[in-house]
Amino acid sequence: MVPITARFQAESALHPAARALLLEIFDQGWAEPRKLHLESRRAAILLQEAKESIAADLDLSPTEVHFLGEITLGFQLGIMGLIQPETRMVHSSIDRAEVLAIASQFPSSVEMEVSNSGVVALPELRPSDLLIWQYVNAETGLIRTMPIELVEFSGRVFVDHTAYPTQAPAIASWSSALWDSSSWSGPNGLSIFALRTGAKGWRNPFPHLQQSVVPSGFSLPLALASAVALRHWRSDEEVNKTKITKLATRIRAFISENIPDTDMIEEQWNSWSAIVSLSFLYIDAERLQSDLADEGFTVDSGSACTSANLEASHVLKAMGLLSQGNIRLRLHHDVTATEIDVFLPVLKRLVEKQRQ
């Protein structure tokens, strides 16, 4: 086994504070919060505290916060719960696969195209439309700020915050929104689903007895650990934001000068610098990934040339970006300048070796 020099893959280890708490809470938070026993009441208090903490960090009201286990369920509840017979679902070509899967079930859905400069082509919206708005794209880091004309949109809006824990949606009339606990180094297998107070027309789209209630199958310890991780993530993000932006700029500058024929998102785009997507012409991404792993670096890839993906990333394809030879670096809070300085010459050498 090669020792890991630096991790640039999307997944990160649980925040140490969340991990410590998790071990403790599995002893305390096992009871069913809705029952009346002493342990249950204690569990109910812990759950309420976690809700309040998460609500404060995401700029929501505690009553708007719901915990869910499976993230796919969050997309289905959030989107399908807002669809009525006359609804037209408007989404973009770079939305997550879960969104595209739902759209494929509704023949009237409209797909917004996204150009390789990150511009979204907005159709003429009707008040009966359901708009799906992905705030940050996990594969390219593209940030899609709400166009000014949408701020006044009176239809329904589902906001996908799963790539990055942004605070409550910028659009005043959002209806439902989804966050992924792992995006703030919280536990996997937990998502935060929000229904805005006063939002119209959401109902549980799945078989149910009480139509207004969100299904609540989740692990209480995971929810509590997630709240702690989010609190830490927020302050870590404040501290490390500038460092990460500088390092991302350093990577781009190095690539522009040293590795020709590389397709990357241009810096002037509004993008989240913690995600750097690089596509090298004439390169087999799977080989590059494993060569990098041999040198102790872990990276992700959106290429079809890797065995993990039978098809190239639909995001890169939809934006007209090169998908072959694609690697994706995620700069986590603990990334160091030294790691980047060690990594870049290795990357250059491996790309050159393969291009010979």
Partner 1 sequence: MSGEIVDARGKRCPLPIIELAQALKIINIGESLTLLSDDPATVADLTAWARMTRNEVEQEGDFEFLVTRLN
Contacts with partner 1 by CB under 8 A lie at: 116, 261, 263, 279, 281-284, 303-305, 311-312, 317, 320-325
Concatenated DSSP letters for 177-195? EEEEGGGGT--SS-EEEEE
Q: Among residues 130 and 305, whose Cβ is nearest to partner 1?
A: 305
> To the nearest whole angstrom, how small is the minimum distance from the Cβ of residue 283 to partner 1?
6
Euclidean distance between CA atoms 318 and 270, whole angstroms = 18
Euclidean distance between CA atoms 124 and 4, whole angstroms = 50
> To the nearest whole angstrom, how small is the minimum distance from the Cβ of residue 209 to partner 1?
46
Q: Among residues 73 and 305, whose Cβ is nearest to partner 1?
A: 305
Euclidean distance between CA atoms 110 and 78, whole angstroms = 18
Q: Among residues 116 and 258, whose Cβ is nearest to partner 1?
A: 116
> To the nearest whole angstrom, how small is the minimum distance from the Cβ of residue 352 to partner 1?
14
Q: Among residues 232 and 355, whose Cβ is nearest to partner 1?
A: 355
> To the nearest whole angstrom, how small is the minimum distance from the Cβ of residue 10 to partner 1?
21
> To the nearest whole angstrom, how small is the minimum distance from the Cβ of residue 350 to partner 1?
14
> To the nearest whole angstrom, how small is the minimum distance from the Cβ of residue 340 to partner 1?
24
Q: Among residues 72 and 324, whose Cβ is nearest to partner 1?
A: 324
CA of 195: how far to CAs of 37, 81, 158, 255, 264, in Å? 30, 10, 9, 43, 36
Q: What is the DSSP letter of 78?
A: I
Euclidean distance between CA atoms 299 and 327, whole angstroms = 6
Q: Among residues 227 and 322, whose Cβ is nearest to partner 1?
A: 322
User: What stretches of 260-336 show up as alpha helix (H) in DSSP?
Assistant: 285-294, 314-318
For 340, list phi and psi in degrees, rounded to 5: -65, -40
Q: In what order do the strands lie in the sheet with 65-68?
A: 65-68, 191-195, 176-180, 156-160, 130-134, 89-92, 110-112
